[in-house]
Structure 1
Amino acid sequence: MIKNYIKIAWRNLIRNKFSSLINIVGLAVGMAVAILIGLWIWDELSYNKYYKNYNRIVMVMQHQTLNGNVLTQTSVPMPLGYTLKKDYQSDFKYVVLITPNNEHILSYGDKKLTQLGSYMQPEAPELFTLNMLRGNRQGLTDQSSIMLSDRTAKAIFGNANPMGKVLKIDNKWVVKVTGVYEDMPKNTTFNDVAFIAPWDLYLTTAPWLKTAQTKWGNNSWAVLCVLNPNADIDKVSTKIKDIKLKNLQSINDKVGASFKSALFLYPISRWHLFFEFKNGVNTGGAIQFVWMFAIVGVFVLLLACINFMNMSTAKSEKRAKEVGIRKTVGSLRGQLIWQFFSESLLVTVFGLILSLVLVQVTLPWFNQVADKETSILWGSPVFWLLCIGFSLVTGLIAGSYPALYLSSFNPVKVLKGTFKVGRFAALPRKVLVVLQFTVSIALIIGTIIVFRQVQYTKNRPVGYNRNGLVQIKMKTPVIHDHFMAVRNDLLQTGAISELAESGSPLTNVWSNYSGFEWRGKDPNTQDDFAWIPISPEFGKASGWKIKEGRNFSRVMLTDSAAIILNESAVNFMGLKHPVGEIVTSGKDALHVVGVIKDMVMASPYEPVKPTIFALVTQPEGVMNIRVNPNVSIHEALEKAAAVFKKYDPDSPFDYSFTDNEYAKKFGDEERIGTLSAFFTALAIFISCMGLFGMASFMAEQRTKEIGVRKVLGASVFNLWRLLSKDFVILVIISLLIATPIAYYFMHGWLQNYKYRAEMSWWIFAVTGVGAIIITLCTVSFQSIKAALANPVKSLRSE
């Protein structure tokens, strides 16, 4: 019986090649989209599961209150780590202090590489359960040791054994390789940690780190822990909540205590998808994109199923006699239902095969756009069970309506020739077409709004000139120590117009300070300023805009106690005439010499933070180069590299363009926008295939009517309008339904951004016009073809 079902199903597919092709390709595209989205979601949901301690790894975070607003951050003071390790051994198996993952120079002989790395306490390899390729997880117990990722070890030593080899960190600290660990996967928080160096070595790299071990007000580090098996995360969070606040109060740090720090433990399972906090409450995060793409995947697959339903029911009249004869010779309705289901399942099998081919072909591009390393799990039984189950469900859903509808025909009426499909027989098909285009139009509107939001934020005035600005992160103090000589040599090349030093790049803020006093300050006001040390040349190099006062000057000795404020700082302080005002920090009195227009240095989606600029007093982290606009970038960088190598031959000349660094801030939104556009395009493609098939069927069904109308004098334009208007009406109905739905959801999405674009009416108008044009282009081929046909051929049988 089953063999017979398959034979008949195959013959029907071959007999109706055009509709079969539309069904198979449509389903294949829909299933390919669903598989791609499924792989993306699986990668997102399995984030950090590489670590065997996944269920017990936590990060110590804190809420701090600033002028009534609760801010949440991951950075905590160094003594917190020591306190947890000493006093809470019953709750934590491991407590590990780690530094931010920063760029450092690794030197081995003549080879010098800039790599991202972190200093960590010795238990870190056990916390992460690193897969050691060489050595063991105790490799950080020696202060002069280092552990390398496999990728980094090969970059430095090739295929040679790196164990015991001696390296230098930042041309200064001599370390020995004591371990090589497997590269952590892309979908882990610490995947880009190229090396791990000992915490004890870190404490020797700067004098201030010794005193930082007892400073409860300096939030510059992260603390990761592994809970003991019997520890409850909520109870432990409650237990440690007030540790920092109590210590600040005990040392009478009134400024620090005023922030009312509340510590809590945050599990690794929520780091990636649920890392957004507003006013101290977790509001989600990237999980919104998981839900969004899951819904998109379901709808795109549904569009493909709708095509199958429409094409099958549209062909019902042609198969009516087949059903009548089968019922007459004894076929039961159940057998007919299974016959139609077998055809549907055969189509889905072909669709699945083609979809896997499409996924394999598009996966490299998809990974590049999505910033993933996903692959088809060919060897996974779970993957195949999901695919097969997925195909069965898809086949049953796609074939359900045709099977139930066609098997219900009355055989007597069919064989007498009195069977009519009824005036409402086409209504379900029209409803499904409306559903198809409602989804497609909603996706188009959403994609336009995502790209518009990104572009709107990109066009936000940043307050300085990004073009021709190059930033170089310093790993050693050499350039700082020879700053004026380096600057003079660069200016003499003619390729560089300015060099300036700063404590933060123009695309980030690395330091914040509080505890300032000024005239008229409300005693209840808490202050928290971005603090950026700069050299006097920074204003010219960055191209910032002076609003009041002046830039710093090297010839004015009093500028050692001078500061420059941005507009946000002036507004926060409530200063009407800021130039000349005195701002105190402890015993230091700082006089304001200038005010600049706000510069967007942190998130482009957020308001600019109040910022104080002061002159550098020690080696800072960034050198900013302004390239002469009359010289090519390539030539300028070659000349700059020569000068830097002259003074610091042991450091690689690693640079980045400020405009590129700024563009990276839009990476997540642009990736989501690109993927949305891709899936939207496929949704439109599937919908258009369905329209094309339906237009072909209608043209074929109305062949004689078109012949009669043509004989009676109807023009090609009139016939085209006749055949096209029904589809246009359906699309207009879809537009009316999709518009409020898209508006509701996208308006909610935009509320996540304080600096956001408005939803203009033209977005919906352009989408509507575009949908109508796409519809007309799709159906016009069949409409015009039918209108141009010779009426003699269509009426010959009459």
Structure 2
Amino acid sequence: MIRNYFKIAWRNLARSKTYAAINIGGLTAGMTVAMLIGLWIYDECSYNKYHSNYPRIARIMQQQTLNGEVNTGSNVPAPLFKELQNNFEADFSHVVITSWLQRHVLAYRGSSFTKPGNFMSAGAAEMLSLKMIKGSASGLKDPATILLSASTAKAVFKHADPLDKMMKINKDLDVKVVGVYRDIPYNSEFHELAFIAPFDLFVSSTDWVKEAVKNSEWGNSSFQILVQLSKDNHLASVANKIRDIKLRNADENELKFKPQILLQPMSRWHLYSEWINGHNVGGRIQFVWLFGVIGVFVLLLACINFMNLSTARSQKRAKEVGIRKAIGSMRMQLVGQLFSESFLVVLIAFCISLVLARLVLPTFNAVADKQMLIPWQDPVFLVSGLAFGLLTGLVAGSYPALYLSSFQPVKALKGKWTPLGLRATLPRKILVVLQFTVSITLIIGTVIVYKQILHAKNRPVGYNRQGLVTMLVNGQDIHQHFDAVLDDLVKTGSVTSLATSAMPPTEVFSANVGFDWKGKDPGLQSKFATIGISHDFGKTVGWEFRAGRDFSKTFSSDSAGFVVNESAVKFMGFGGKDLNTVIGETITWDGKPFKIIGVIKDMIMESPFEPVKKSIFFIHPQGGRFITARLRPGAGASAALTNMETVFKKYTPDSPFNYQFVDQEYALKFAAEERISKLAAVFSALAILISCLGLFGIASFTAEQRTKEIGIRKVLGASVANLWQLLSTDFVILVAVSCLLAMPIAWYVMHSWLEKYAYHTRISGWIFAAACLGTLAITLVTVSYQAIRTAMLNPVKSLQGE
């Protein structure tokens, strides 16, 4: 019986090739989108699960209250590590202190490579359950050792065995390779971890770290701490125990910030990373929900097409249903027959969509910044795919099967049954309105996301990004010969200026407290971004001054001077409208006086969607690890970089020449929003395509049903324009209703989305008008082909059967 069902279903498809193609094409597009989004959601939700201790790993976080606002971050003080180790040993299997991921130079026998890595205390590899290929993770207990990822080991040692080989970190730290671990997958927080070195090595080789550990500096929150809970403990109870550790140990300066220690489980690191005023408000989980809803709706649009075309063509199936019922078919048998047709269409569409998903997955990965693969051999995937296909078939076929099987055989066989009444057409109209409401909402949302990106990109950045290059340098070779390096670079004609800084122009690594000034409210808590620079930094990046001057080597007093941004001046309450009155004001930092010598426009160094931090620039006595160069205008970038590499290699031959263009680094700050915009644009286009496919099918069937009516109207004098209007009006009205429904929905959703950005665009009325008019135009184009084709038929042929 089932075999006969499918045989009849195949014949029906073969008999109506156009409608079959529309149904299969729409379902293929919808299922492909749903598959890709499903893979993306699975990848997001499986983040960090590579680590087998995933359920019990957490990171220590710290909350501090500043002027009534609670700030939450994963940066914590070094003494907390020993406190947790010594006093809470029963609560944790592992407690690991770690530096932040940074790029370092790894050197071996004259070859050098710049790789990202961390300095971590013993137990890190075991806690992260790294898959060791060679050696042992326990080797990190020796401070002069290193673990390498498989790809890093291959890059450095080629085909030689790396175990027990000696190499250098940053030119001056000798370490022995004690282990090689398998590369960590891309969907892990640690996927960039090319090497792990002992934290004790970091302490012994870095003065400020040594001071922070030796002096138990509770006010220096420059580290990370990861923990693994022991099996008999629960996160909530342990978090309650350690909450007030810093309150019990910190000095008076720290106590006024009311510090609290938190535990955030690894399961929430990726999807719930955003905190506002002490509350975990979400993060990427909103994208999971967003794309999940889009995937469901796009697939639903394709299912609606199937429902609409099946019910629209029900008159052709009426006599078939009547005959089957007259000869004894039960309604459930008819339902089974009709469902078999929907399952056959879904099966064909599912097979095609699998092929399409495989073909477009590389492009989708590039846009979504993923490294996903289709898990063909995973039984869960196969079962999920089967369930997905069955569910789609049930959704798509349910309404047509129930609708068609409800026909009364007597009326159907006598020809008295008609599908043109309101009762028959109203459900189809509702479904069409739903389709276009979803499509228009997606279009409006896509345009607003793109407008928000442009709004942030057009925001004044306070300096000139074009022609700026930054380099991370390790060691003191460049700093010791800085003037000679600059002189050689200028002679090449490629560079006009050079400067050092503690951080690149596109990042802020440190913020400090302990500032005081005349007229400061005693209850005001101050925290400023503090950026150490060389004298020519402002000249190199192109600061825009509002008052005062830049640092100068001519004035030795500038070593005790500050250049501040407008946000800092506003916060301190200096100057009013005349910023020149700020010049010469004294700010004390931990009791040491500094004079303000200049005020610059706010320089965007972090997110262009957020307010600029209150920033203070000062002369760094030892220079920073970052060098920024201004390329000479008109000099070719390729030739300039070649000349720079030659000069740098002259003074630091053992270090690789690595650089980043500042404008490209700044552009990366828009990456997340641009990915949303591109994906939403693709999904919106597919939603419109699927909706128009359905509209085209319904318009074709409607025109076919009204062929004789059109012939009579032409005989009575109706023009082609009159007939086109007659056949198009109903569809235009449905899309217009969709526009009226989509506009408030889109406004509410996008207004809520924009509110999370402190610096955001306005929602303009032209976006709604353009989306609606564009959709109406597409609708007219879709419907007009069939309307005009039918209107131009010879009425003699249309009426020859009468």
User: Which TM class, normalised by the smaller chain length?
Assistant: over 0.9
Report how far residue 422 of structure 1 moved.
Answer: 4.8
- Letter of the 1:102 counterpart: Q
**What is the aligned-residue RMSD (CA, Å)?**
1.1
- Letter of the 1:90 counterpart: A
Report how far residue 90 of structure 1 moved.
Answer: 0.8
Which range moved further: 757-766 or 254-263? 254-263
Report how far residue 175 of structure 1 moved.
Answer: 1.1
Report how far residue 452 of structure 1 moved.
Answer: 1.1
- Letter of the 1:450 counterpart: V
Q: Distance in 2 between matches of 1:386 and 1:231?
A: 35
**Structure 2 counterparts to residues 143-182 of structure 1, below 5 A:** 143-182=143-182
Counterpart for residue 4 of structure 1: 4
Measured against aligned partners, the alpha-carbon deviations of 1:397-441 in whole angstroms (never above 9, x if no partner) come to: 111111111111122122222222252111111110000000001
Measured against aligned partners, the alpha-carbon deviations of 1:470-490 in whole angstroms (never above 9, x if no partner) come to: 111122222111111111221
Q: Distance in 1 between matches of 2:408 and 2:551?
A: 93
Percent of paired sites with the same residue? 54
Measured against aligned partners, the alpha-carbon deviations of 1:456-502 in whole angstroms (never above 9, x if no partner) come to: 11111110000111111122222111111111221222221111111
Secondary structure at 2:59 match in 1: strand
Report how far residue 388 of structure 1 moved.
Answer: 1.1
Matching of residue 610 in structure 1 with residue 614 in structure 2: yes
**Structure 2 counterparts to residues 99-248 of structure 1, below 5 A:** 99-213=99-213, 214-248=216-250
Secondary structure at 1:203 match in 2: helix
TM-score by length of 2: 0.98
Q: Distance in 1 between matches of 2:720 and 2:108?
A: 79
Counterpart for residue 260 of structure 1: 258
Report how far residue 619 of structure 1 moved.
Answer: 3.0
Counterpart for residue 654 of structure 1: 658
Measured against aligned partners, the alpha-carbon deviations of 1:44-71 in whole angstroms (never above 9, x if no partner) come to: 1111111111111010101001111000
The one of 700, 714, 727 aligned to 1:710: 714
Secondary structure at 2:370 match in 1: coil
Q: Distance in 2 between matches of 1:143 and 1:417?
A: 91
Counterpart for residue 429 of structure 2: 430
Secondary structure at 2:138 match in 1: coil
Matching of residue 325 in structure 1 with residue 331 in structure 2: no
Report how far residue 257 of structure 1 moved.
Answer: 2.0
Q: Distance in 1 between matches of 2:314 and 2:569?
A: 75
Q: Distance in 2 between matches of 1:159 and 1:368?
A: 31
Which range moved further: 429-438 or 679-688? 679-688
Q: Distance in 2 between matches of 1:779 and 1:551?
A: 66
Q: Which runs of 5+ in 2 are unaligned?
A: 576-580
Report how far residue 622 of structure 1 moved.
Answer: 1.0
Is 1:103–1:475's contact at 8 Å kept on the other side of the alignment? no
Q: Distance in 1 between matches of 2:398 and 2:591?
A: 80
Secondary structure at 1:277 match in 2: strand
Matching of residue 496 in structure 1 with residue 498 in structure 2: no
Secondary structure at 1:94 match in 2: strand
Measured against aligned partners, the alpha-carbon deviations of 1:713-768 in whole angstroms (never above 9, x if no partner) come to: 32222222221111111100000001111111111111110001111101100100
Measured against aligned partners, the alpha-carbon deviations of 1:360-405 in whole angstroms (never above 9, x if no partner) come to: 0111111111111111111111111111111111111111111111
Measured against aligned partners, the alpha-carbon deviations of 1:678-718 in whole angstroms (never above 9, x if no partner) come to: 11111111111101111111111111112222233322222
**Structure 2 counterparts to residues 72-87 of structure 1, below 5 A:** 72-87=72-87
Is 2:78–2:217's contact at 8 Å kept on the other side of the alignment? yes
Q: Distance in 2 between matches of 1:710 and 1:147?
A: 84
Q: Distance in 2 between matches of 1:647 and 1:484?
A: 12
Matching of residue 516 in structure 1 with residue 515 in structure 2: yes
Secondary structure at 1:140 match in 2: helix
Secondary structure at 2:442 match in 1: helix
Is 1:606–1:754's contact at 8 Å kept on the other side of the alignment? yes
Is 1:437–1:731's contact at 8 Å kept on the other side of the alignment? yes
Counterpart for residue 506 of structure 1: 505
Matched residue pairs, number? 794
Q: Distance in 1 between matches of 2:679 and 2:82?
A: 45
Q: Distance in 2 between matches of 1:38 and 1:587?
A: 57
Is 2:150–2:183's contact at 8 Å kept on the other side of the alignment? yes
Report how far residue 286 of structure 1 moved.
Answer: 0.7
TM-score by length of 1: 0.98
Report how far residue 5 of structure 1 moved.
Answer: 0.8
Q: Distance in 1 between matches of 2:657 and 2:599?
A: 34
Counterpart for residue 451 of structure 2: 452
Q: Distance in 1 between matches of 2:111 and 2:789?
A: 69
Report how far residue 645 of structure 1 moved.
Answer: 1.2
**Structure 2 counterparts to residues 394-543 of structure 1, below 5 A:** 394-424=392-422, 425-543=424-542
- Letter of the 1:33 counterpart: V
Measured against aligned partners, the alpha-carbon deviations of 1:579-620 in whole angstroms (never above 9, x if no partner) come to: 001111234211111111111111111111111111120131
- Letter of the 1:776 counterpart: L
Q: Distance in 1 between matches of 2:55 and 2:730?
A: 57
Is 2:534–2:623's contact at 8 Å kept on the other side of the alignment? no
Counterpart for residue 563 of structure 1: 562
- Letter of the 2:729 counterpart: K
Q: Distance in 2 between matches of 1:461 and 1:235?
A: 48
Report how far residue 672 of structure 1 moved.
Answer: 1.4
Which range moved further: 157-166 or 687-696? 157-166
Report how far residue 242 of structure 1 moved.
Answer: 1.5
- Letter of the 1:287 counterpart: I
Q: Distance in 2 between matches of 1:420 and 1:686?
A: 28
Matching of residue 583 in structure 1 with residue 582 in structure 2: no
Matching of residue 353 in structure 1 with residue 351 in structure 2: yes
Matching of residue 388 in structure 1 with residue 390 in structure 2: no
The one of 253, 271, 274 aligned to 2:272: 274
Which range moved further: 56-65 or 700-709? 700-709
- Letter of the 2:697 counterpart: G
Q: Which runs of 5+ in 1 are unaligned?
A: none
Counterpart for residue 628 of structure 1: 632
Q: Distance in 1 between matches of 2:122 and 2:330?
A: 74
Is 2:533–2:623's contact at 8 Å kept on the other side of the alignment? no
